[in-house]
Structure 1
Amino acid sequence: MDNSTTATDLWDRSSSVFGTQPHPSIWLIAVTGVVALAAVVPHGVWRITRNAVTIAHEGGHALVALLSGRRLDGIRLHSDTSGLTVSRGRPTGIGMVLTAAAGYTAPSLLGLGGAYLLAAGHITALLWGAAALLAAMLVMIRNAYGVLTVVLTGAAFVLVSWLTGPAVQAAFAYGVVWFLLLGGVRPPFELGSKRRHGGARDSDADQLARLTNLPAAVWLGLFHVVTLCCLSGGGRWLLGL
């Protein structure tokens, strides 16, 4: 392959990022939704796939911390699917509240944004955008398991974007967005269950309660509202309703 062919290929690929791609069939969209549901509901499968939701959760904390003027010290992702994002700044105030509230809502909000892009036909842009966000997040990871998880996830987006055709890219993109929308709903329910049994007393909801003097149950309810509304709205966009 000569240099001109390589340059042309690179130009075609880069141009497709900013262009639109045809919508897949409703059957493919429905099947990817069912596959995503199968990755969320069974407990044994969820123990593995929840790692992807944790990446989005901690990434949400990190992004909002930076946007609110806080200094981000690092992110840790653990094999039990828990995570920790450490930032510096005022221990109280709106910036800290937004940062604490961003975690449980981030996967669903990312899914909603992804659904909007897919509804507009920007499949390639979604894939490359996700890879770019993961690359930016990798810089702040502070443990080996976290690095491995983010690298493997980012590699999946890059390989699908670079090596596969439009049909596979569409299936992968729709599957990812469905997974974020569906997977974002489950963690607030898990948190509520833990709190009813006396656990998770230093959760994001409890931290928000201390920051705002509003009961943790109010914040947990907000997490439910956001995630369920994102699933409803994002699902309608994906299905073209």
Structure 2
Amino acid sequence: MDQIIDRLAPATTTPDLAGWTLLAVLVLAGVAATWWPAWRVLRLVVTLVHELGHALVGMLCGRRFTGFVLRSDMSGHAVTVGPAHGAGVIATTWAGYPAPGIVGAGLIWLATHGWSAPALTALVVGLLAALTRVRSALTGLVVLAAVAGAASLWWWGEDTLQAWLLVGVGVLLLVGAWRHLGSMLPRIEIGSDPGVLARATGVPAALWVVSFVVVLAAATWVVVTVLLVPMGA
């Protein structure tokens, strides 16, 4: 029990993320998010966060999260039950594309401030909860792999290693969020999130895409600002 409690607490000192190791982590994360053989697998992690973003915001808006699926072509679908109209369903639909960037920036901020262990704890708990809502074998495999990776790092990783890897995951999610958004352009399909939002609100789909860009740009600014400090800039 003492060991579990120790692994729930933030680091007593800020992890040392300066130097070539951090640069190597950033480069590897960037390669993982852009090199096709790696991206074709890791993009499912970005899709997972996208769909869970829909689910979390839906539940915060009072909707009931009933299940979700991930597909190998980078698409997915999360189902929340509630009113068919109103602010809740709009917020739920909007949340998907910004979610990986926001989560990525949050992980990097927490990692660089010594909060890797609590962040990993929250990830494990959230993923275990999500596991009860999977609706396909591929979805279950991805969630189980994410749980295993996060739990292993939480239990066996020391503070600096946890911070390095969370920074890497954060960069992967942020770059992946931009890639997901870019893959939707230049043609916005009627069944895409901004297409659905346009039909529901009358606001052009392009403006919804702009809102995604603004949020991801803010997340990118946070990440660059946070990482400039340990890199000595």
Query: Normalization by structure 1: what TM-score?
Result: 0.88
Whether contact under 8 Å (2:111, 2:164) holds in the other structure is no
Q: Which of residues 196, 210, 218 in structure 1 aligns to 2:199? A: 210
- Which residue matches 1:4? none
- Which residue matches 1:222? 211
Do residues 184 (structure 1) and 151 (structure 2) align?
no
Do residues 201 (structure 1) and 190 (structure 2) align?
yes
Percent identity among equivalent residues?
33
- Which residue matches 2:115? 122
Separation in structure 2 between the aligned mates of residue 99 and residue 114 of structure 1, nearest angstrom: 22
* Code of the aligned partner of 1:173: L
* Code of the aligned partner of 1:172: L
Residue 186 of structure 2 aligns to a residue in which SS?
helix
- Which residue matches 1:42? 35
Ranges in structure 1 where 5+ consecutive residues have no aligned partner:
1-6
Do residues 60 (structure 1) and 53 (structure 2) align?
yes
Do residues 84 (structure 1) and 73 (structure 2) align?
no
1:223 Cα deviation from its structure 2 partner = 1.2
- Which residue matches 1:3? none
Residue 163 of structure 2 aligns to a residue in which SS?
helix
* Code of the aligned partner of 1:159: S
Q: Which of residues 1, 7, 10 in structure 2 aligns to 1:13? A: 7
Q: Once superposed, what is the RMSD of the aligned Cα atoms?
A: 1.9
Q: Which of residues 150, 158, 166 in structure 2 aligns to 1:165? A: 158
Separation in structure 1 between the aligned mates of residue 93 and residue 13 of structure 2, nearest angstrom: 35
* Code of the aligned partner of 2:25: T
Aligned length: 230
Whether contact under 8 Å (2:62, 2:88) holds in the other structure is yes
Query: Normalization by structure 2: what TM-score?
Result: 0.91
Ranges in structure 2 where 5+ consecutive residues have no aligned partner:
none
Whether contact under 8 Å (2:69, 2:139) holds in the other structure is yes
Residue 28 of structure 1 aligns to a residue in which SS?
helix
- Which residue matches 1:144? 137
Residue 76 of structure 1 aligns to a residue in which SS?
strand
Stretch moving more, 210-219 or 109-118? 109-118
Which string of whole-angstrom CA distances, capped at 9 and with x for unpartnered residues, describes residues 155-184 of structure 1? Answer: 001112212333432221111111112211
